[in-house]
Amino acid sequence: MLTLFHYPFCPHSRFIRLALGELGVEVQLVEERTWERRNDFLILNPAGTTPVLVADGFPAVPGAAIIAEFLDEANGAELGDKRLLPADIAERIEVRRVASWFNDKFFAEVSGPLVTERIYKRHMRIDQGGGSPDTDAIRAARANIRYHIAYIGWLARRRNWLTGDVLSYADLAAAAHLSAVDYFGDVPWEEDPSAKSWYARIKSRPAFRPILAETLPGLPASKTYADLDF
């Protein structure tokens, strides 16, 4: 049995949970509040970030990108056309490129600031960086998301999925980050029907159900969050 240290609204954790769901890999989930800086967790990942995957016989696997590579190395060759990182080198480059766009760029510009300001800071002490949300950071993130949605729409109009004919890590990374933002109703779906249609397809997949079932006490989800016909 694999163990995944995660936080429910950590976009990177959601990416790996979606990947595990698509691969049909059973995992034990352990919620980790990274701002608490637990010593036992820091031993697993000195960077103190989620997600971290623990598998028998292997060192702890830290970080979404490294976990994704580990899962492909362990399972990919057996999956055929269900593989989330294609066998073809050129196709692998494109999947990694687009996945990095969301795990790095989108996270830095949109999902990271919104999740931090709207969720994490509610639970953190002042000395941990908690306090009132930074409205300027939220405003900037909500402005930044518009060109990301346009880019998703551009990709979706040219391909079946974001990087080609089959679902890949790139789709799961994009959807994971968007799902965290959509909880707050901050995704301007009306601006690009192609992006909206792509997301409707992926959020309807069985692997997405546990994600959409998660809510925060005192902070209700937006109307579009769990609605498959949004």
Which alpha helices (H) appear in 81-204, and where do they start and end? 89-100, 112-115, 121-123, 135-158, 169-182, 193-203
CA–CA separation, 204 and 55 (whole Å): 29
Specify the 3-state DSSP secondary structure of 50. coil
| Residue type at 58 in one-letter notation | F
Q: Closest Cα partner for 14 from 143, 203, 157?
A: 203
Residue with tokens 């909206």: 196
Mean pLDDT computed over 142-166: 97
> Nearest CA to 75 among 20, 113, 125?
20
Q: What fold, for 89-206? A: Glutathione S-transferase Yfyf (Class Pi); Chain A, domain 2 (1.20.1050)
CATH node for 2-82:
3.40.30.10
Domain with CATH 3.40.30.10 in the chain: 2-82
Whole-number pLDDT of residue 137: 97
Residue 207 and residue 25 in contact, taking contact as beta carbons nearer than 8 Å: no
Taking only the tens place, the pLDDT of each residue in 83-113 is: 999 999 999 999 999 999 999 999 999 999 9
pLDDT at 8: 97
**pLDDT of 76 strictly over 80:** no
All CATH 1.20.1050.10 domain ranges in the chain, comma separated: 89-206
Mean pLDDT, range 148-162, rounded to an integer: 98
- Give the pLDDT of residue 77: 75
DSSP 221: P
- Kindly report, residue by residue over 164-193, the tens digit of the pLDDT: 999 999 999 999 999 999 999 999 999 999
Task: Render pLDDT for 212-222 as a digit per residue (tens, 0 to 9).
Answer: 999 999 999 99
Measured CA to CA, the distance from residue 103 to residue 69 in angstroms comes to 14
Q: pLDDT band at 79, cuts 50/70/90?
A: confident
- Is the pLDDT higher at 77 or at 195? 195
Query: Is 80 exceeded by the pLDDT of residue 151?
Result: yes
pLDDT band per the 50, 70, 90 thresholds, residue 82: confident
What pLDDT does 185 receive? 97
Confidence of residue 66 (pLDDT cuts 50, 70, 90): very high
**Nearest in space to 14 (alpha carbons), one of 213, 186, 220:** 213
Q: Are 76 and 83 in contact (CB under 8 A)?
A: yes
User: Contact at 8 Å (CB) between 213 and 227?
Assistant: no
CA angle, residues 220, 148, 109, in degrees to nearest 5: 70
The one-letter amino acid code at 86 reads: P
SS3 3: strand
Q: What is the average per-residue pLDDT within 140-154?
A: 98
- pLDDT of 81 > 80? The answer is no
Q: Which amino acid is at 32?
A: E
Selected residue with higher pLDDT from 10 and 81: 10
